[in-house]
């Protein structure tokens, strides 16, 4: 029986997101599927599962992007395939905010604003807290409510947020979201995968 690969899903796939996710994956000792970058997503679900299974170790960070397409576009179709695959264990999802307020939204468990503060409210694409708790607006989030995952973390536009999350400063908001997912999913409590520090997340 094959070991299920442990994966974090990210609902963004532009060049800024790629640079941020690659940097964070290196920082936390994980792997980024760089070929999953695309705006919109270009790789299919089966192609992504193949690449995930080839990654040398977990956690594996994978990007999905619908580029503003209403409903389930290529990114969400691929995301659902990966999330429901028998050989994949989804540790959590980073739900990325977008400017479209009237089209798609998803529930979230927690958000991280552009100052690195955890909040029960949603955030906008700039990482600024909104008034409504428990939901976020985005363009690749339509299907997230169908997933049974330990944690969905809302954040602003990855690699941007008025430079608060630029890869040039270490993409600290994205990194905190990844660390939060790893901690709350119990990833650090297992023996599989590379040895790494367990940076606790301040609440």
In 1-156, which ranges are continuous DSSP H helix? 15-28, 45-54, 74-83
- Evaluate the omega torsion of the peptide bond into residue 40 and state whether it is cis, within 30 degrees of 0: yes
Look up the pTM and report it. 0.90
Tell me: the pLDDT tens digits for 122-139?
Answer: 999 999 999 889 999 988
Average pLDDT value for residue range 161-188: 95
- Average the pLDDT over 187-199 and give the result: 56
Cα dihedral 189, 121, 81, 63 in deg (nearest 10): -80
Q: Which band of pLDDT confidence, cut at 50, 70 and 90, is reported for residue 203? A: very low
> What's the Cα-to-Cα distance from 90 to each of 6, 47, 135, 160, 166, rounded to whole Å?
6, 17, 20, 25, 26
Q: Is 3 exposed, middle or buried (0-12, 13-18, 19+ CB in 10 A)?
A: exposed
Buried b (16+ CB within 10 A) or exposed e, 63-76: bbbbbbbeeebbbb
SS3 call for 28: helix
Q: How would you classify the pairing of strands 110-112 and 118-119?
A: antiparallel
* 196 vs 41 pLDDT, higher one: 41
């Amino acid at each position: 029986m094959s070991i299920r690969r442990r994966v974090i899903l990210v609902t963004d796939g532009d060049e800024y997101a790629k640079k941020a996710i690659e940097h964070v994956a290196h920082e936390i000792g994980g792997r980024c599927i760089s070929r999953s970058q695309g705006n919109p997503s270009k790789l299919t679900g089966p192609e992504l599962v193949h690449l995930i299974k080839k990654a040398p170790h977990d956690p594996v960070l994978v990007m999905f992007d619908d580029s503003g397409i209403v409903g389930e576009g290529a990114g969400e179709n691929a995301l659902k395939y990966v999330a429901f695959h028998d050989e994949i264990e989804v540790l959590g999802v980073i739900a990325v905010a977008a400017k479209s307020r009237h089209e798609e939204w998803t529930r979230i468990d927690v958000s991280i604003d552009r100052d690195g503060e955890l909040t029960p409210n949603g955030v906008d694409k700039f990482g600024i807290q909104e008034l409504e708790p428990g939901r976020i607006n985005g363009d690749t989030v339509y299907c997230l409510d169908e997933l049974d995952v330990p944690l969905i973390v809302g954040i602003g536009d990855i690699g941007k947020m008025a430079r608060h999350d630029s890869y040039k400063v270490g993409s600290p908001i994205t990194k905190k979201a990844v660390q939060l997912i790893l901690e709350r999913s119990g990833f650090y409590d297992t023996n599989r995968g590379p040895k790494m520090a367990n940076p606790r997340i301040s609440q």
